């Protein structure tokens, strides 16, 4: 008996994909395929999606901002209403804990992010309206065109191409979206898309505003990012995938915003260990193993200085690792790649302290793994030892002294985040003063006495950083309204007649509370004859 | 007798280049080489420049902002003091009018831009300081690292790698600069570098803050942009040169900001011609031929609708072109490339209305040239007819109706600027409403009833636009403080101890007047216990 294949969201409707291939998700906890069949789209799906998205982009530009704000809120509300079903579906596809992680953290975060985006749409601060009355020049940020979003495997909601931060930001800016779900959690993406479509309809946005496909051929992905109808691309995932899309986008000058993972080094200074040994041991072990280490901000790299305290710390950490419960990894592929990265570390001279093998205890799982390497090897074999091991494996680099740590920091690639733990009094201050400026240049977010894992949705957040953690260190993927600007272009109006200006650039403040820069002064007021030059 | 070769500015001193090749500039008015010899740097010069710049970058980060502001002002003052000599030198190398253009416009603009940059440094608005007290997250923009600047041939001061907008922006952000002058005006660049070095010394900035080479091998340019010591690149010039650097930079994920020229389409609607025929004729001809058309915002493309008024307009425009005085082009190469672009237009079906040949009337000059092509050809042979003809040549595309113009706009590549002239009353409103949204997507700056040539240095300016006019449509190359952000990266401080924060992110406002976003409110105030969450 042939089973039905799930439809995709194209041109405002659920439609059958024209693709002839299909796939199934796996339950990582049972290692068994899930029954539902999902299509791998072919180019004709993408062609239709691009045409619909381009048309929706024009339509969106005619509609008041309030519609987008309402949509984002309605969508958030609908997700809240179906949270149990969403969490259960995502748990089956990802092996992530249904209560603690999905219901308790990720869904609320996703819902909150959509609401923050709605607020940003209303406030319009992200538009950066600037008025120069003397020269009759007015400028602001406008949507960049339809945005293709490629979602990652590890956050079925908060980074899902149809519900996550990229989605919320792209829609907030006024863009139509072409969402490419991750093939590890298609049923979750399908549920989200259903709520999304209903929310579009209920709030009067064009239903073509959002297209969703579950999967596509790699070649079609490259063709998609080069298509002239597309304005920009967002990608979260592996470096290999990201760099392939980047090369295609770069070739045609298409803005692409990438988040390609990171080692997120954590430096434990001796004074901190001396002062808060137990506390740091618990914090570090907990953070490194959180969610089986499957976060882009997972601290995969610890820098320590040799000594008896460090030895004791690592012994106890290994003990914690050996006894900490396992949970399934997201997929067999994650398990396999973790093994490969580990092999690369060991080939380069790292020594296994604990773990090191796949485990069949809990689905596709892996023993909690701690490796140790000396700084000399780390400097010599950087490319192998800086290979990300996505999952529950940690590499500790042992240094002779602070200068040696400085050298390691200088050898690092760009990172999302990095942290320094130091004594609360003077003990580590010289070391901090030497190391922090070096680390500052390598990371998007610098932390003190705290692990890198949590990424609060805040205007002051930076979930970004120097290449190859991302594609451009000016932009952040998390935080409202700052993450919105990725999906905009700067538009100047020079001597444009007042009645033809967008309302944000007219003399009268469009909301009475929008912040604009008028002749050098940020104000919520109007342009008045007295403010004119 | 072997003549002395000019030194380059390396590591805070005038030094002899290690390069063994050299070059001379030409006086485009006389077509004769100028006597002074300048070196073509080899990699060892660049190697030294990179090492010095990287060290200066660290040193700069330890110094108060006020030093950079003082330097920018001192440098402006010194340029003012030597304006006559600077203008005479640049005139000899570029053939640009000494009084009207260089002394009257470009030098004052350059000086004003340096002063605006100094003001931006003091105000610190460009840093976009954001404080979230609830989550102990604080972020701002910080310098991205040494910046390599490649200057163009057409603005010896305002875009010179050592005095122009990119230079002012990069230094304002706190970056050391590696300036690569343009080989058409080395003596001008050398004079500027002398004033720059003196200004650095007088204001207590590291003299290594700015390195300057006159020329380098193409391969070394590519190697330079890929060097890990370099933080970002700025380039203004030809598309060929820009794309070569972009490919190299993209490969290693280096932020590169390009300005690669543009056709800057101007649309003359029928009602406008009917209403202000003479006025528009004068404005359009004057702007198209200004500075022999050697501006990146030169309107190289006119869109008109067929009819008797258009015919008469083009006859009179041709007449104006035939009688307008010639001036030398910047170089023999500019003359040659103009001829090649013209040939490409004519091969694709454009008809010569007037001009079309090199002229030996005034140095390397070219007859004022007007070409006409029908819209059908323009749609069919877009890649040939959208080839930029840098210089005093204009292509007019004749259309059947407004829909036909819409089609031409849709076929355009990305542009810096584009303008629509329309009737002051109702006559052209329908056409404007149809065309303006299409043009808006293609240009960085949209104008009404005005030519594209002038680019005021204003916070509301956008000298940028969609690819291939530039490399990224979010950023502008002109305007303070907005142009500064190209040379920054976003830096977040998460749970960083208060005394370790940069002063801009501490509770107390560092200047009493710096604008910061504290818990959602932009304010010049401090973080106070009552503002804390």
Q: What letter does residue A82 receive in the DSSP assignment?
A: T
- Where does residue A473 rank: exposed (0-12), middle (13-18), buried (19+ CB within 10 A)? buried
Contact B147, A470 (CB under 8 A): no
> What pLDDT does residue B1 have?
44
E strands within B196-344? 210-213, 232-236, 256-259, 266-268, 301-305
B147-175 in b/e form (b: 16+ CB < 10 A) is bbbbbbbbbbbbbbbbbbbbbbbbbbbbb
* Helix spans in A124-238 (H): 165-172, 186-203, 218-226
User: Coil, strand, or helix at residue B292?
Assistant: helix
**B-contacting residues of A 166-205, CB under 8 Å?**
none
CA distance B8 to chain A (A): 29
What CA–CA distance (Å, rounded) separates A15 from A127? 35
- Do B285 and B268 touch, CB atoms closer than 8 A? no
DSSP 8-state secondary structure symbol assigned to residue A386:
T
- What pLDDT is recorded for position B2? 59
pLDDT for position A360: 77
Q: Which residues of A touch B476 (CB under 8 A)?
A: 490, 492
Nearest by CB to residue B474, choosing from A135, A447, A488, is A488
What is the layout of strands, in order, in the sheet containing A8-10? A13-15, A8-10, A210-213, A177-180, A147-150, A232-236, A256-259
Estimate the crossing angle of helix B186-203 against helix B83-94, to 10 degrees: 150
Of A296, A367, A388, A504, the catalytic one is A296
Give A427 to chain B, closest Cα distance, Å. Answer: 15
β-strand pairing of B301-305 with B393-399: parallel
pLDDT number for residue B530 = 63
Residues in B touching A468 (Cβ below 8 Å): 253
Question: pTM of the predicted model, to two decimals?
Answer: 0.97
* d(CA B256, nearest CA chain A) in Å: 10
Evaluate whether A137 touches A492 at the Cβ level (below 8 Å): yes
Question: Residue B355 — left, alpha, or beta (φ > 0 → left; ψ -120 to 50 → alpha)?
Answer: left
Would an 8 Å CB–CB cutoff place A148 in contact with chain B? no
- Residues of B numbered 377-416 whose beta carbons fall under 8 angstroms of chain A's beta carbons: which are they? 414
Torsion of CA A446, A449, A454, A459, to 10 degrees: -50
| CA–CA dist A384, A386 (Å, integer) | 6
CA torsion, points A22, A28, A33, A38, in degrees to nearest 10?
A: -30
Q: What is the pLDDT of residue A528?
A: 87
Is B467 at the interface with chain A, CB within 8 A? Answer: yes
E strand segments, B36-172: 38-40, 130-132, 137-143, 147-150
Give whole-number Cα distances, B438 to B403, B411, B419, B432, B433, in Å.
Answer: 11, 10, 12, 10, 9
ipTM over 0.85: yes
For residue B490 the two structure tokens come to: 């976003």
Helix (H, G, I), strand (E, B) or coil at B216: strand
Tokens of B239: 């598309």
CB B51 within 8 Å of CB B229:
yes
User: Taking the alpha carbons of B174, B176, B181, B186 in that order, is the dihedral positive or negative?
Assistant: positive
| Closest of A41, A294, A343, A356 to residue A156, by C-alpha | A294
- Distance in angstroms (rounded) separating the CA atoms of residues A410 and A431: 15
The closest CB to that of A485, out of B414, B449, B474, belongs to B474
Phi-psi region of A449 (alpha: psi -120 to 50; beta: other; left: phi over 0): left
The residue behind tokens 């030194």 is B7
Interchain contact, A466 vs B473, CB within 8 Å: no
Q: Quick one: tokens of B342?
A: 């013209």
Between CA A218 and CA A223 the distance in angstroms is: 9
Q: Tell me if B432 sits within 8 A of B269, measured CB to CB.
A: yes
- Which residue among A145, A458, A462 sits closest to B491, beta carbon to beta carbon? A462
Query: Quick check: A237 and A150 in contact, CB under 8 A?
Result: yes
DSSP per residue, A506-524: SSS-SSS---EEETTEEES
Q: Residue B273: which H helix or E strand, with range?
A: helix B270-289
CA distances from B64 to A325, B502, B525 (A): 51, 11, 21
The answer to whether A460 faces chain B, any CB pair under 8 Å, is yes
- Compute CA distances A203 → A67, A120, A212, whole Å: 6, 17, 19
**Do residues A173 and A121 make contact, with C-beta atoms less than 8 angstroms apart?**
no
B36, B26 in Cβ contact below 8 A? no
Query: Quick one: which of A267, A255, A37 has its CA closest to A147?
Result: A255
Q: Which residues touch A483 (CB under 8 Å, ≥6 apart)?
A: A165, A166, A169, A463, A475, A476, A477
The closest alpha carbon to A142, from B254, B439, B468, belongs to B439
Q: Catalytic residues of B, which ones?
A: 259, 296
Say how far apart CA B49 and CA A438 lie, in whole Å. Answer: 21
Does the beta carbon of A122 lie under 8 angstroms from any beta carbon of chain B?
A: no
Contacts of A252 in chain B (CB under 8 A): 467
How many residue pairs from chains A and B have C-beta atoms closer than 8 A?
A: 178
CB atoms within 10 A of CB A525: 12
Instruction: Count other C-beta atoms under 10 Å from residue B351's C-beta.
Output: 13
- Distance between CA A385 and CA A342 in Å, rounded? 9
Residue A160 C-alpha, separation from nearest chain B C-alpha, in angstroms: 24
Query: If phi over 0 gives left and psi between -120 and 50 gives alpha, with beta otherwise, what is residue B470?
Result: beta
Q: Which two tokens stand for residue B202?
A: 């007088």
Alpha helix positions (H), A352-448? 375-380, 382-385, 402-410, 429-442
Q: What are the φ/ψ torsions at residue B252 (nearest 5 degrees)?
A: -110, 10
Question: How many other CB atoms are found less than 10 A from the CB of residue B238?
Answer: 17
How confident is the model at residue B514, as a pLDDT?
97
Of A138, A473, A485, the CB nearest to B144: A473
Å between A185 CA and nearest CA of chain B: 30
Full DSSP string of A268-328:
E-HHHHHHHHHHHHHHHHHHHHGGGG-STT---EEEEE-SHHHHHHHHHHHHHHHHSPP--
Nearest CA among B289, B330, B360, B358 for reference residue B92: B330
Q: Which residues of chain B have pLDDT under 50?
A: 1, 533
Q: What are the structure tokens assigned to A478, written together? A: 């998390």
Given B130, B446, B488, which is nearest A459 (Cβ)? B130
The answer to whether the beta carbons of residues B372 and B314 sit under 8 Å apart is yes
Does the distance separating the beta carbons of B494 and A445 come in below 8 Å?
yes
Is residue A259 among the annotated active site residues? yes
pLDDT computed for residue B528 by the predictor:
87
Strand duo A232-236 + A256-259: pairing: parallel
Nearest CA among A52, A435, A371 for reference residue A210:
A52
What's the pLDDT score for residue A531? 55
Is there a contact between A447 and B495 if contact means CB atoms under 8 Å apart? yes
SS3 category, B514:
coil
pLDDT tens, per residue, chain A with 533 residues: 457 999 999 999 999 999 999 999 999 999 999 999 999 999 999 999 999 999 999 999 999 999 999 999 999 999 999 999 999 999 999 999 999 999 999 999 999 999 999 999 999 999 999 999 999 999 999 999 999 999 999 999 999 999 999 999 999 999 999 999 999 999 999 999 999 999 999 999 999 999 999 999 999 999 999 999 999 999 999 999 999 999 999 999 999 999 998 999 999 999 999 999 999 999 999 999 998 999 889 999 999 999 999 999 999 999 999 999 999 999 999 999 999 999 999 999 999 999 999 997 778 999 999 999 999 999 999 999 999 999 999 999 999 999 999 999 999 999 999 999 999 999 999 999 999 999 999 999 999 999 999 999 999 999 999 999 999 999 999 999 999 999 999 999 999 999 999 999 999 999 999 999 999 999 999 998 765 54
Calpha distance B268→B302 (Å, rounded): 7
Question: Using a CB-CB distance cutoff of 8 angstroms, which residues of chain B are in contact with residue A138?
Answer: 460
Per-residue pLDDT at A515:
96
What stretches of A12-122 adopt beta strand conformation (E)? 13-15, 21-23, 26-27, 32-33, 38-40
Which structure tokens are listed for A199? Answer: 């929310």
Report how far residue B73's alpha carbon sits from residue B430's, in angstroms, rounded to the nearest whole number: 49
The answer to whether the CB atoms of A490 and B246 lie below 8 A apart is no
User: Helix %, strand %, coil % for chain B, to 5?
Assistant: 45, 20, 35
Beta bridge partners of B445: A492, B417
**B-chain residues near A442 (CB < 8 A):** none
């Amino acid at each position: 008996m042939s089973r039905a294949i799930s439809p995709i969201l194209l041109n405002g409707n659920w439609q059958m994909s024209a693709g002839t291939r299909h796939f199934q998700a796996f339950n990582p906890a049972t290692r068994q395929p899930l029954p539902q069949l999902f299509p791998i789209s072919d180019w004709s799906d993408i062609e239709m999606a691009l045409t619909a998205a381009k048309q929706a982009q024009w339509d969106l530009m005619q509609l008041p901002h309030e519609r987008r704000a309402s949509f984002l809120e309605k969508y958030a509300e609908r997700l809240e209403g179906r949270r149990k079903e969403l969490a259960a579906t995502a748990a089956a596809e990802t092996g992530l804990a249904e209560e603690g992680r999905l219901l308790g953290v990720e869904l609320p975060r996703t819902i909150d992010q959509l609401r923050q985006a709605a607020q940003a749409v209303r406030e319009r601060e992200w538009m950066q309206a600037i008025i120069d009355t003397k020269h009759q020049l007015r400028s602001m940020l406008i949507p960049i065109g339809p945005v293709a979003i490629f979602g990652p495997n590890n956050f079925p909601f908060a980074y899902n191409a149809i519900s996550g931060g990229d989605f919320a930001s792209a829609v907030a800016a006024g863009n139509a979206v072409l969402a490419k779900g991750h093939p590890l959690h298609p049923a979750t993406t399908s549920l989200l898309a259903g709520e999304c479509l209903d929310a579009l309809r209920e709030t009067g946005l064009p239903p073509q505003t959002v297209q969703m496909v579950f999967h596509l051929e790699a070649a079609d992905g490259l063709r998609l990012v080069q298509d002239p109808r597309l304005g920009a691309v967002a990608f979260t995932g592996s470096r290999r995938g990201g760099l392939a899309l980047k090369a295609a986008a770069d070739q045609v000058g298409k803005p692409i915003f990438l988040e390609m993972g990171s080692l997120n080094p954590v430096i434990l200074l001796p004074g901190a260990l001396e002062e808060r040994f137990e506390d740091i041991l618990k914090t570090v072990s907990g953070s490194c193993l959180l969610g089986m280490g499957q976060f882009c901000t997972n601290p995969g790299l610890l820098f320590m200085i040799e000594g008896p305290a460090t030895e004791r710390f690592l012994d106890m950490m290994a003990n914690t690792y050996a006894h900490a419960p396992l949970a399934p990894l997201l997929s067999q592929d994650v398990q396999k790649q973790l093994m490969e990265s580990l092999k690369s570390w060991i080939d380069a001279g790292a020594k296994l302290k604990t773990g090191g093998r796949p485990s069949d205890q809990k689905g596709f799982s892996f023993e909690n793994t701690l490796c140790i390497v000396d700084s000399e090897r780390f400097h010599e074999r950087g490319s192998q030892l800086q290979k990300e091991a996505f999952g529950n494996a940690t590499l500790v680099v042992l240094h002779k002294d602070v200068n040696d740590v400085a050298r390691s920091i200088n050898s690092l690639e760009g990172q999302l985040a990095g942290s320094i733990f130091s004594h609360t009094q003077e003990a580590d201050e010289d070391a901090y003063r030497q190391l922090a400026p070096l680390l500052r240049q390598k990371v998007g977010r610098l932390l003190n006495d705290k692990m890198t894992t949590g990424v609060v949705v805040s205007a002051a957040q930076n979930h970004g950083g120097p290449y190859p953690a991302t594609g451009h260190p000016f932009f952040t993927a998390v935080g409202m309204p700052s993450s919105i600007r990725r999906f905009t272009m700067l538009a100047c109006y020079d001597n444009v007649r007042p009645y033809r200006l967008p309302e944000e650039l007219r003399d009268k403040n469009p909301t009475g509370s929008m912040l604009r820069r008028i002749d050098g002064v940020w104000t919520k007021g109007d342009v008045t004859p007295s403010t004119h030059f």
